[in-house]
Amino acid sequence: MTTKPGPRSVEEVAPAAGERGTSADRPRGADRERIAIRVTGIVQGVGFRPFVYGLGTSLGLAGQVGNDDAGVFAEAEGDPAAIAEFLRRLSDDAPPGALIERVTV
């Protein structure tokens, strides 16, 4: 996991167990999907970024999550069913204090 300090902070989600290398090392196919997400609302200072990191890791997704002045951004790659579950749980299981206004994929 890599965290870059400063107003823009990014954490990289490691590949799932059994996977190796970066997404560029793995062939893309019907069994993998990659999405970019933007989440706006009250998502800073409430533990949302660590929540997104933990959620992605628990679902076996690779990617990154960070925040900037507009909110939280993330990229996730993995099994399409895991991606769908990730998107569902972003809003449904958000940490207390978070108020999701919009999730844009």
- Active-site residue (options: 67, 88, 89, 102): 67
Respond yes or no: is residue 8 known to be catalytic: no
Strand 71-78 and strand 33-42: the pairing is antiparallel
Please identify which residue in the block is written with the tokens 């958000």. 94
Give me the catalytic one of 38, 49, 88, 102: 49
Instruction: Specify whether 49 is catalytic.
Output: yes
- 44 CB burial (10 A radius; 0-12, 13-18, 19+): middle
**Unique residue bearing structure tokens 């019907």:** 30
Q: What amino acid positions are annotated as catalytic residues?
A: 49, 67
